[in-house]
Every structure is written in structure tokens, then in C-alpha cells.
Structure 1
Amino acid sequence: MTAASLALDFCGLKFDSPIVLLSGCVGFGEEYTRVEGFSNRDAGGIVLKGTTREPRLGNPPHRVYETPMGMLNAIGLQNPGVDQVVNRILPTLDFSETRFIANVCGSTIDDYVEVTRRFDDSPIDAIEINISCPNIKEGGVQFGNFPEMSARVVAACRAVTKKPLITKLSPNQTDIRENARHCIEAGSDALAVINTVMGMAIDVNTRRPVIGNIQGGLSGPAIKPIALLKVHQVHEVARKHNIPIIGQGGICSANDALEFLIAGATAVGVGTALFYDPLVCPKINRGIADYLARHNLRSVTDLVGTSSAHPPATGLSKAG
């Protein structure tokens, strides 16, 4: 029997693996290249660190804190600004290894538009719109928690690029399905579900918040059940439009990834797991391939949306 394929089509882009390395976890694509055995080729795509119009220093420390089964972070989108990323960082990336996806952030709609426009005139493969960052005081989650505002950001970015647009949805909202629908209708080609969940930690000795920003984004295994439900809910909307989903939130093993694929994700995002196992991706790939072989499935795409809770997905990318 021919080995099962892990390759898939994502918005017209060929991914050699369903794994996507998540924004903020691998820097600008170079963060783990110093780790022996790590290879960008083990991932179908890599989402670069969040990029803004102007350079940002980020939030005051502490910015990262380990929690039971998870991690809080409030980096605050520290980055050198879009001009530096496009002119100096992108030329250093090997685009033959994998697909590179920009992560666009802003405080205003004009910011999102300008950063998207700059990436449109670059070799980047796709653009992720980050309208759900929970640890900056302006923009970010203010856009992502309100469907009409989310749609305005997506539509404005859609007008200045022909590259695939992926909208990163927040779990910190009333109805993620309604937001997904608005973003799809505004021109989003794909959805990333979910961003981190808002949380905090307190030092009982000082009686002060541990995170300098007070609140941060919780990631890791602790949020997996939340993320899995949100993927299932969004898939109910996305499959009607043949819109693919990157399912993310606490994926640390092949079994985790399989759950997200069955729930309706076309690809799966890995982030926090890299902090304690930089070589987790080939393990996940092998585990998915073994599962497909055991169940006589020819391709990872045969698994997408096969939960008995809803009919199988009808497509993997946006029609037309």
C-alpha cells in the first residue's frame, strides 16, 4: 500500500505537512535553527512574529510565566517594524524549505492596511491578520471581539493584497461563529482558530500580578479543550464556504493534532510545545502518518471534518 500523504492544499499553497508553526514562537523563522535536528521542512508553514507599522519595544517585564499545563505571555508585539522585516529579514529566509506567512498587527485600520500593503509587495506566501492579540492596550482584541469591526479590518486588508488572507480569531468573544462569518464575507481566505485565552497570575508574596502587563495570553495544553470546541463551532460556518481552518491551542502530540483535524481543521498550529520540545514536529508528522496507515486513509485531507457530530468537509480551500 502506498504511504499516506501528509501534503495538502491550503488556499492554493502546497503544504508538505499539516503543521504550521505559530506566530511568536519561532521569531522570524530563525529562532530554532540553532537547535540540532530542527528543520523548517518539518512544517508546512511558518507564521512569522507579529509585525507592526513602526518598531515596538513591547511590554514591561515579566512577559512570560509558566502556569500548570500552560504558559502566560504578554510580549506586547515587540518587533523591528515592517520595513525592517521586509527589507532585511525576508531576504534571509529560504522559501524553498516551507511556506512563510506574515502576521500583521496594528492599532488602527490604517496600520493594518499599510503593513498588509508592504507585505503584498514581498515574497511572503500569505498574510495572517492578527485581530485578536489579548496583551496590547490598543488595537488587537478590540478589533477581534466585535464582528463588524473584524470585518472592516479584513475588508480593508483584502483591498490591498491578492495574497491569501488568514484571519486569526479570538476565543475571548461572545459568538466566534458570527465573527467567522463576518470575516469570510469580508474576504478572508482562511481562519486561524484560536488565539490565546486571556488570563493572569499573582505572586502571593508580593500580592502583585506576575505579568508586567497584568494580563497575558494563556497557551498550552490547558486551553486545548476550549480551542477544539471553537474549531468545531467555526467549521460549521467555514465548511459552507469551503474555507480552511488552522486549528491551534495546546497541540503537543499527534493525537492532539488528529483531534483538531477530525473536528474540522485543515492544518494544525504548534506553538507552546516547541518551548520544551523543539523537535516535536517530526514526531507529530510520524504519528499522523501512522494513524492514516492504520485506518487505510490515503491522505491527511481525508480526515478533515470527519467527526460524527457534523457531515464531512466539502472542500479545503475557498471556491474560485
Structure 2
Amino acid sequence: MPQDKNRQFLEFEKPIKELFDDIESLKQKAEKSKIDLTDPIRKLEERVIEARKAITQNLTPWQKVQLSRHPDRPYTMKYIDKMTTEFVELFGDRNVKDDKAMVGGFASLDGQTVMLIGQQKGINTKARQLRNFGMANPEGYRKALRLMKLAEKFNKPIITLIDTPGAYPGLEAEERGQGEAIARNIYEMCRLTVPVICVIIGEGASGGALGIGVGDRILMLENTWYTVISPESCSSILWRSWEYKEKAAEQLKLTPDYMHQFGIIDAIVPEPLGGAHWDYQQAADLLKPFLLDAINELKQLDPQERIKKRIEKFNKMGFWEELPVEG
């Protein structure tokens, strides 16, 4: 969790920032004057908690999109660090190279070995460039599939952590088969014989998310989004401008409550007050029981029964209306 002085604030978090500025001012005053200001500082800290709670309860879809992209938000490696022990990262797709935007490996989750795979964004400018802003190339998805097959070989559950603005759309990615790599992952994930749990921990956009998003259980953290296109891209297509991104976010119904209502996800995982970026350990502690419960439940099923239920789950998604043919 970032130190208070290094925290970054979104526009709608401005009331919290003002309180933090007041707290910092009092701390400096107390240090210089040697006056005990513990009580007023404590009261301001209580107001920070109240402000975090108030903001969380009244978020618009666009604000949830912004929170999912918060620069202080924990990414895949942070959840792995806070939830598991003995993580052994594995590299490469055995074909082209290692994609730094996709990470994965075996780890111990409360004493049981699991395969953890997820998109990783960078925590600073240099790391973001190295990680390609969490946008995987085809080799990233092939690496993920290789790790899934390895987990299947050793009969270990798979957990995927999804956080991407989309698969990398560059020319070289298309030349190396971006679409085929994602389609192959979707096909193969349907047939995995081990339990598969997918969690949207940030952005869940388009095929970039679906490439590691087919599982027995689909979870979303409460301040995340999951849809076929980002609000900005949707706005630029429909209105020829990014200015309508807030309206697009509303119309896309991309927040966890809608996803649960539509039957796309199985559960919404709560976050710390104000968002996961306020307390990394608490965010991990809130997610961990959902993963353990899902694994224990899915382990009771026969592998073929699990595959059957997984396919049925995705076949039932969506709704439509058939109109009578005239003539």
C-alpha cells in the first residue's frame, strides 16, 4: 500500500485528498511546535474513513471504470504476494518468447498447490512499458495455455486474475496470430479437467479478458468492469468522439451488479472501503475465501461432470428473442 504522501487521487476522491492534506499539515505543525495534536488528527482520520465509505456507496459506472484503473490499485503480482506463499514464476511460450504482460506459476494457497495466471500492469513508467500496459501478445496467451496444461497434468486447480484494457492490437501481434491464440485458449479452457476460477481484478476488456476468462466460476471485484469494448472506444465508434465515454459506460452495463444479473459472473467480491488501492492486504483477504470455497466445491465434482457444467454455463449466457417469419 502506498505511503500517504505518495498516494494518487482521482477527481471524485478530491474530498479525501483535502482531508489528507489537512492531516499532513497538522502532523508538520505538531512536529515543529512540539504540540500534541493527536486528537484532531484522529478525528480527521475518522472523517477519511467516512468519506471513503460515502464515495464507494455512490459510484457511477464511469467512476468504477476509473477506480479499476487507479494507478495505486493492486495488480496480479500483488494479489499473488498477499494471498499465497512459495510462488514459482514460469516463463515463455516455448515458441516465440516470454510475454511480460502475462505472468503465471505455481503457488501455495492455504497449503494447497494452485496455478495462478494473470495479466500484469507496471507500477511505474518503465515497468508499464516492460509489461506493455497489461496488453498481452499471442505468446502471452500461448504461455498461459501452456501453464494451464501443466496444471492439468499435475491435477492442480487454476486461478486466473484478469486485468487488461485488451489484447495487444499491434500489427506484429496480428501477424503472429492474436485472434487464433485467444480462440484456442477459449476452446481449450472449456475442456480442462481441473477446476478453473477466473477473477476480474481490474479491467476486463474484450478478447484480452476472454483469453484467460473461461472457467467454472467467474468472480468480479466490486470496483471492476467486464465488457466487449472499453467505454472510450465505444464512444468513439458510436459518437465519433471520446466525450461520451461516461454515457457509454452507463449503456454498456459493464459493472459487476449487471454482470451478476445477466448471469455472466457467479459472485461479486467486496473491496476495502474506497477501493482495493486503500489496503492491499485486506483486498487479498477478502478475495481469498471466495477462491478457497470455489476450489473446495469444484473438487467434489467428477472431471467430466465439471467440464459438462462449464460448457452448459457458457451456453446459457445471453438472451434473445426470435421473431416470427412473415410471408
TM-score interval (norm. to shorter): 0.3 to 0.5
Task: Give the number of the structure whose residues are more often strand, by fraction.
Answer: 1
Q: Which is bigger in relative contact order (C-alpha 8 A, separation at least 6)?
A: 1
Task: Give the number of the structure whose residues are more often helix, by fraction.
Answer: 2
TM-score, reference length from structure 1: 0.36
Whichever of the two has the greater Rg, that structure is 2
